[in-house]
Amino acid sequence: MDNYYLGKKEYFPKIGKIKYEGPKSKNPLAFKFYNPEKKVGKKKMKDHLRFAIAYWHSFCADGVDPFGAATMAHPWNQGVKSPMEGAENKMDAAFEFFTKLGVDLYCFHDRDMAPEGESPAESEKNLFTMVAKAKKLQKATGVKLLWGTANVFTNPRFMNGAATNPEFGVVALAATQVKAAIDATIELGGAGYTFWGGREGYMSLLNTDMKREKDNLARFLTMARDYGRKQGFKGPFYIEPKPMEPTKHQYDYDTETVIGFLRYYGLDKDFRLNIEANHAELANHDFAHELECAAAAGLFGSVDANRGDPRNGWDTDQFPMSYQECALAMYAILRAGGFSSGGLNFDAKIRRNSVDNQDLFLGHIGGMDSFAVGLEVAQRIIDDGLIPAFTKKRYASFNSGDGARFAKGQMKLEELAKIGSEGGYKKIGLSSGRQEYLENILNQYLLGL
């Protein structure tokens, strides 16, 4: 993609193609570390990182917060005669942005792309009009769909949940959207399909039958899986965990909770995890912890790349900027085998007071540079081998003799206890976990030393 796409109008004037200029560049509109063609390990940076743009934050969010009105008057919404005209303009702006930034994947909710109509049929008609345009623009630009999803949480009808709503009629309405969003994803060749359980949780146990809601959620996901497979969708379905917000407690609380849920309901063959950094933080976990949990279960899928604020208890969805957090995340991702159908979707928004035409570019450039640094540091950890070798050595006693027999399940507790008893207390010394040593090495790598 050397050129960029322009619709009827240029929505980001004075901004051209964003290029790699190296770490010393003073040009704010250039990559300092993200060099897409550079080889890191066995793959090019762009193929490791698989960046994607989130349609909702980038082209729909307008700076509204609970205390104030919109601060961003997006040019694609100005002077339009109908919501569909706005949707067409917005899509032109989106593809201009993707191609100027050089990111060839994106993610969307049905309602980001097309306005809701007066009936489910009209909403679907609007969606497929926009899908036809997206298909054309994808073909013209080489941009592809990372995943699609349905917004079944914004409309007031979903205030008590979608698949977990206590009223069957609302569950059925959610199905109209999910079915159409799966069709749209298939039509656009999407690599995956995501479920983030926006209001799939509860506000009060005084009015909630939790078991019934979880059973209904699993039933709904099973039906969606069966429908997608019947229509020929081959990619993974993702669950995106989040512990709370908007509900007090969400059923997809964190990665371990989702793994248990998927296995209990027999969905673990078709579903994987889409892990978001800020959601990990809300669950009181590190981002890397969540990635590691998914990888250990063989269910790692994709990532919503952003960051939270450690002193805020809500989803601030800021652009990822911490080299250390990105490095630890990439270390987990590389050891999990890297991305196959997944990618790094910037589920991040610029701040309410970031109202310049450049700001959306700057947020993404910073996030891409941070993950590029993270990738290089993660590869360095692997290539240098000190940290992995230390970790491996810690478990060496399970590789042979009695330890190996234990690991293979060839021992009973009586025998294990006998070995402990015969060994006695004196034989086992204390061996250091050497965390400080490992953290010091990581800090050297972070400075490129």
Site for Co ion in 89-108 (CB under 5 A): none
Q: How far is the CB of 304 from ligand XUL (least distance, A)?
A: 5
Q: Which helix (H) or strand (E) holds 106?
A: strand 105-109
Q: Check 110, 112, 270, 347 and give the catalytic one.
A: 112
12 touching ligand XUL, by CB under 6 A: no
CB-based burial of residue 238 (10 Å sphere; 0-12 exposed, 13-18 middle, 19+ buried)? buried
Pairing of strands 201-202, 249-250: antiparallel
# residues near Co ion by CB under 5 A: 3
> Shortest distance, CB of residue 278 to Co ion, whole angstroms?
8
* C-alpha to C-alpha distances, 329 to 90, 105, 266, 314, 392, nearest whole angstrom: 32, 20, 28, 21, 19
Please tell me what DSSP assigns to residue 115: -
- Contacted by 315, from ligand XUL, Co ion, none: CB < 5 to 8 Å by type: ligand XUL
Whether 109 is a known active-site residue: answer yes
200 binds, among ligand XUL, Co ion, none (CB under 5 to 8 A by kind): none
DSSP for 289-355 reads HHHHHHHHTT-EEEEE--B--TT-SS---BPP--HHHHHHHHHHHHHTT--SS--EEE-----TT--
Choose, by CB under 6 A, the member of 112, 124, 304, 376 that binds ligand XUL.
Answer: 304
Nearer to Co ion, 89 or 302 (CB): 302
**What is the rounded distance in angstroms from the CA atom of residue 290 to the CA atom of residue 256?**
8
Coil, strand or helix at 76? helix
In the list ligand XUL, Co ion, none, the entry touching 149 (Cβ below 5 to 8 angstroms by class) is ligand XUL
Which residue in 55, 106, 196, 339 binds ligand XUL (CB under 6 A)? 196
Whose structure tokens read 């191609």? 99
3-class DSSP state of 108: strand
Closest to Co ion by CB, 347 or 376: 347
Q: 350 to each of 40, 311, 318, how far by Cα in Å?
A: 29, 18, 7
Single out the residue of 315, 325, 369, 376 in contact with ligand XUL (rule: CB under 6 A): 315
Q: With beta carbons less than 8 A apart as the criterion, state whether 47 and 340 touch.
A: no
CA distance 255 to 287: 11
- Pairing mode of beta strands 43-44, 39-40: antiparallel
Residues 251-290 touching Co ion, rule: CB under 5 A, are 276
Catalytic, 315? Answer no
Q: What residue is closest to ligand XUL based on CB?
A: 196
Least Å from the CB of residue 238 to ligand XUL: 9
Structure tokens at 177: 């959207």
Q: Which is nearer to ligand XUL, 242 or 380 (CB)?
A: 242
Cβ at position 68, least distance to ligand XUL in Å: 20
Window 309 to 368, contacts with Co ion (CB under 5 A): 347
Q: Is 304 in the site for Co ion (CB under 5 A)?
A: yes
Q: Which amino acid is at 65?
A: D
Q: How far is the CB of 276 from Co ion (least distance, A)?
A: 4
Residues 55 and 302: their CA atoms lie apart, in Å, by 17
CA angle 400, 406, 411 (to 5 degrees): 130
Helix (H) / strand (E) element for 202: namely strand 201-202
Nearer to ligand XUL, 104 or 240 (CB): 240
> Which of the residues 48, 109, 279, 285 is marked catalytic?
109
| Closer by beta carbon to ligand XUL, 141 or else 257 | 257
Q: Binding of ligand XUL at residue 347 (CB under 6 A)?
A: yes
Residue 96 binds which entry of ligand XUL, Co ion, none, with Cβ cut-offs from 5 to 8 Å by kind? none
Binders in 224-283 for ligand XUL, by CB under 6 A: 240, 242, 276
Active-site amino acid positions: 109, 112
Give the binding site for ligand XUL (CB under 6 A). Answer: 109, 149, 194, 196, 240, 242, 276, 304, 315, 347
Give the binding site for Co ion (CB under 5 A). Answer: 276, 304, 347
